[in-house]
Structure 1
């Protein structure tokens, strides 16, 4: 591939990687303002995040399979265009029910960008440059996450939360222009075999029911929905073992420790760390009385640390054993989560900042080396599925983390909003959630260190 073309692909994907996280993290800081205006409960606020992430997770594998079958450039661009239209519509919503529903559709469009992203980069760059390219694209993610809390908090304080969405459309338009200019727009058959409709139905319904059930976990029907979702996910795994043309080729896990252990570590890492920003955002604003702008100025520490260190991590992953970088990174991030479980109403800002720094440094040195090693462990015909799988593990991990937080919130607070009167119950929810995430994260550290000796079949 020509140098100019591959650089255009990198710039298009990196710009998109910035734009979407900017809005996601900006909305996270604006959640208290959204909740006050739309009359949302604590569980309703968590659904703003979990519904979006769950929607992305639902379609990642089906979209990944379509990318392997027909190519990812056109799918990526269509998803980006739809994302912008839905984002614009979100800025005019006046009730929580429609807001959550549109966030769901926004997540569906987001999956069309997330799933092909790493595959397009892996196809464009040779193995000796892949770590550096992935590091640059991951930097875009963390720059977006960095700008979101600070700029999103400032915009929310000065102009209102709706302008977080409107300002986020500017980099999205730039990303769309770069996508049309640089990405391959062919939509022609590239692989043999059909589409796994039953597998798609099981994975989509399983994740959807699990998220819905977790939001109503304090009610008997919520437990039933959660159980049905987990049963559907289990059915998906069993079906994929026997399907002729599966969404997820289970043979990729056999004898390939880089792929299997790396993806399991990816899932565990994001399950354990993703909810930290959400939990601390609400704590700083309700427990510390900060404005959204002030809270964003604190929360920006974590993603800004990731943005600064990710290019360094990417370059190191082209030279050093990726399992050592990824394992050490995960050890640091889980240590930060453990430290966060000791936060109380009397905790000072140095405690919060230490948590954000540890999680930020650890994630930067985990994410890029782990992703680079996973993408290098499979052959060209599996790049689309491998890209979708890494994104699925990341997104399902985020979803799982938010599901666990939602369950704890539902148990501790019910459907009540967070107020100064029940902030002590919220802090207990934060502590219990982070204790659980610490326990979940310990096996992931071991998996990250042991992910080696993969193949390129």
Structure 2
């Protein structure tokens, strides 16, 4: 072997290795979105407020994002096969713990451990693909990998809807256990024990600065609205936490630059490739938009227009199916054409489709009202992930594959956690305005003695006490109401919640749509593919079958 491995021959087809990697990666990425479809059921079953639900969603992605750079380097140090299997075991055990949780606090803790397992596993997938496939076949391999990434992210609501409706919300976690066991066995058998050509060391100072900085930034974004962007720990405020996180990240990059001749976590030479640098921004923007768009949408489908989890999953299934069909073709086309215009077209269609979804959303919509927008978005999404990975990793030498894959996956997950946190915070802020407005309009239909209390309940429910579970109306009804008054008030509360949430959601989703449009425009700056560089030819593995 030359360039990427020493003393290790592939005993199995690289395509079989790729299938094993994709199975584990599919399970990890599925957990970033499958939880969304279960939000209403978890909210009702665990008596969790919207603030607590946001932590259940974000705890996993937060830890995942914080640890990815370090996990990429650990794969270089100890071997990607070892880290892949350890990550799978941790993730599988944590998934079982999630299913057995009986409070929001227990579920958040188990989701944190899930994030550790996911972070250990993910960078190893791109690292192994880059090493075992030669440059002329990497595009197809990244096409499969990218298709899995896209399909996993959008399959979550559909698969989750079936599991939640027929089995209960716990099964969105329990389903990972048999899949995890099968993948561990496959990985132990088929994955090569790769060793890179040079010895690595772990940059502990860089690890501490990056991990702490990313944690403070994302924690501040998630907790900002519940704390009214004020004090959170004694005299310490949310802006101070975010500012401290930004300062630590600046120190991290200064430290990386100063130690660039040693072996920093972020090798600056990688960013000399314009395409890799651009794709780090684009993949973060895509994740920002995807998690930001789906978080309010699944609540809308169930808690506003009244679909079950299964019917809500089926409602978004056309997006997933179309993306699944188109992704492999987009990957092969990227091999021939370079991917620039495929990616630009995909992001443009996805932006237009989701904009149509937002425009079509109404409080009285039906299951298929959003279908035209979802079909356009699905076509665009299928043209996105495979070309993106091909463009990003095309010129990365195998010895840098672990660091590069750690960086691009960090960008993806950091974009996701910032997107989920930012959209969640903006949604809560808009609900604080729209729910009282809708309540005031509905109060005129109530007996006079209940009107002010009715408005007050919606005004006070902007963060901590707002419930968005299936069949809930945002706020609890006061006890001791006469049955006739209870029915009238419950009907008014349902109308107020539906109208208020729909208006808040439509305004909120302008943010992820704007980020997605900016990502599409960024693709115009991608450098087109020329012939393979000498470095690519020299670092290509020599003995790759399949």
Could you say whether these structures have the same fold, taking a TM-score greater than 0.5 normalized by the shorter chain as the test?
Answer: yes
Distance 1:266 1:148 in 2: 19
**Cα distance, 1:270–1:150 mapped onto 2, change above 3 Å:** closer
Structure 2 contact 340–523 (Cα < 8 Å) conserved: yes
Structure 1 contact 14–140 (Cα < 8 Å) conserved: yes
Q: Which residue matches 1:41? A: 49
- How many Å apart are 1:211 and its aligned residue? 2.4
Greater helix share, structure number = 1
- How many Å apart are 1:147 and its aligned residue? 4.8
Write out aligned runs for 1:43-62 (5 A): 43-62=51-70
- How many Å apart are 1:274 and its aligned residue? 2.6
Corresponding position: 1:140 with 2:148 = yes
Structure 2 contact 145–386 (Cα < 8 Å) conserved: no
The SS at the match of 1:274 is helix
Structure 2 contact 353–376 (Cα < 8 Å) conserved: yes
Q: Which residue matches 1:417? A: 467
Q: Which residue matches 1:448? A: 523
Q: Which residue matches 1:361? A: 379
Q: Which residue matches 2:243? A: 227
Distance 1:305 1:277 in 2: 17
Distance 1:403 1:147 in 2: 21
Instruction: Using the TM superposition, name which of 343-352 and 74-83 deviates more.
Output: 343-352
Structure 1 contact 57–392 (Cα < 8 Å) conserved: yes
Distance 1:227 1:180 in 2: 44
Distance 1:212 1:295 in 2: 30
Structure 1 contact 123–380 (Cα < 8 Å) conserved: yes
**Cα distance, 1:439–1:213 mapped onto 2, change above 3 Å:** same
- How many Å apart are 1:2 and its aligned residue? 4.1
Distance 2:209 2:507 in 1: 31
The SS at the match of 1:195 is coil
- How many Å apart are 1:132 and its aligned residue? 1.4
Write out aligned runs for 1:288-367 (5 A): 288-342=305-359, 343-367=361-385
- How many Å apart are 1:253 and its aligned residue? 1.4
Match of 2:190 among 162, 179, 182: 182
The SS at the match of 1:4 is coil
Structure 2 contact 196–399 (Cα < 8 Å) conserved: no
Structure 1 contact 22–145 (Cα < 8 Å) conserved: yes
Distance 1:357 1:89 in 2: 36
Give the structure with higher Rg (CA).
2
Corresponding position: 1:20 with 2:28 = yes
| Residue ranges of structure 2 left out of the alignment (5+ in a row) | 1-8, 232-237, 432-461, 469-473, 475-493, 537-546
Could you report, residue by residue, the CA deviation over 1:299-355 in whole angstroms, capped at 9, with x for unpaired residues? 222222222111111111111121111111111122233334433324454552233
Could you report, residue by residue, the CA deviation over 1:106-145 in whole angstroms, capped at 9, with x for unpaired residues? 0111011111111111111111211212222333344544
TM-score by length of 1: 0.93
Matched length: 455
Q: Which residue matches 2:412? A: 394
**Cα distance, 1:426–1:197 mapped onto 2, change above 3 Å:** farther
Q: Which residue matches 1:77? A: 85
Q: Which residue matches 2:489? A: none
Corresponding position: 1:171 with 2:187 = no
Q: Which residue matches 1:213? A: 220
Q: Which residue matches 1:236? A: 252
Q: Which residue matches 2:502? A: 427
Q: CA RMSD for the aligned pairs?
A: 2.2
Q: Which residue matches 2:204? A: 197
Instruction: Using the TM superposition, name which of 153-162 and 89-98 deviates more.
Output: 153-162
TM-score by length of 2: 0.78
